[in-house]
Each structure stands twice: as structure tokens, then as C-alpha cells.
Amino acid sequence: MTAISNNEEDYIYCAMLDPWRCGRPVGAVDQAHHLMDIDYIDHSGDAARDGAVCPHSTDHTNGEVYPSHQWCQGLLYYYLGTGDEEALRIALRIGDNLCGWITGPRKNSLQYSGRESAWPLLSLAALYEITRIERYHEAGMAIIESMQQVVREHGQMVWEYPPGSGILSPYMLAMTFNGVWDMYAATGNEKVLALSSLHTLYEAG
């Protein structure tokens, strides 16, 4: 179970799409319950961990938490297929944790790589598309606007990596495409689509 539920990727998302393609209502039952019952942190005195999912760590929740690897798109699909309200509750909590990362004192962490910028967009776009709760739209657009600011300043999308090094590079650039596109698909906002123009965002990659 750890091998397929360590939150390196959103395995529940993949395992939900396959049965839907085949006309079945649900898949990923074991993976969804593993995330909800084992990997998810339902309470922590550390706001960065409260409501988070902890990626690939010992004892499932002992490692660091950061904006990437906070998956809930698959969990939302699991909710749609099953009506499991606990899946929806936890997906919303993960989304709220991401909102805290994006607007709180550690928001600079989203500027450390393409993964940290764009993977949260996958969850936020799915949350907004399914729930229409505005705070997820606002958080996603805050990421988009920060990326647009980088493009205005540097002519392309770059991140400081390693953090604090002063080295700017397009490290993990390709990881941003799905997040940017999902945000556009969920919102229809032309500002997002403009960011995904290949000549401004992806030319360096």
C-alpha cells in the first residue's frame, strides 16, 4: 500500500479515471481510505501541517509538509463516485491547508520550483470546479498572478533553486503546464490562458 499511496503523485486520480472510462462508478477504494485514514493530518498545532497530507515519509506523517504533494483531485473524484462525505471533508481541508500556504508566512515556498507553484493548482482547480467555493479560486489565481509577475520581470518563468542560492532557472518548468491548464479549464479566465502561451512561459524549457 505504501508503494502506491505515498503521495508522490495523485494515484487516486489515476485510479478513478480508469473505471470511469470503463463505465464503472468507482475505483481506488483502498488508496482513498489509506489517504484519509493514514496519510492525512486532521489536526496539528502547526498551521502548515493542520489539514495537510504528508508525502513519502516514515510512519506516513512524520516528514515535512509543503505545497506540492497536497493531492485532493482524486479524492474529489472518489467523492463524486461514492458520495462519501468524509472524502469531501478531507479534500476541503487539504484545500484550506493550501490556501494557508499561499497566503500565509511561508508563501515564498511556492517560488522554489515549478512543482511547488503548479501542483497546488491541480487541487485548487478541482476544488473550485466541483464546489465553486471562491476561496479556492482566489488562491489559485494568487499563484497565477505570482507566476505572471515572474514572467514580467524575467521574460520567462524561472525559480530560485536551490532556495537562497540566487540561481534562477526553469527547473521543473514542464510540471507547470497541467496546473495552469486545469486552472483555466475550471475558471475560463483568459488571464490564465495568456500565461500558458508557450512563447512566454515555456520557450526556455
Q: pTM for the whole thing?
A: 0.91
- Least confidently predicted of 36-45, 134-143, 172-181: 172-181
Find the helix or strand (DSSP H, E) in which 160 lies.
Answer: strand 159-160
* Structure confidence at residue 57 (pLDDT): 80
3-state DSSP call for residue 118? helix
* Structure confidence at residue 196 (pLDDT): 63
Q: What are phi and psi of 160, to 5 degrees?
A: -85, 110
- Least confidently predicted of 48-62, 115-129, 139-153: 48-62
Q: Which residue type occupies 17?
A: L
pLDDT tens for 165-186 read 999 988 888 888 899 999 999 9
Q: Which three cell numbers stand for residue 65?
A: 509538509
% of the chain surpassing 70 pLDDT: 93
Task: Tell me if the bond preceding 120 is cis, omega within 30° of 0.
Answer: no
> Is the pLDDT assigned to residue 85 strictly greater than 60?
yes
Cβ–Cβ under 8 Å, residues 136 and 127: yes
Angle (deg, nearest 10), helices 114-131 and 85-103 = 130
- Mean pLDDT, the chain, as a whole number? 89
- How far apart (Å, rounded) are the C-alpha atoms in residues 15 and 47? 30
* Structure confidence at residue 201 (pLDDT): 52
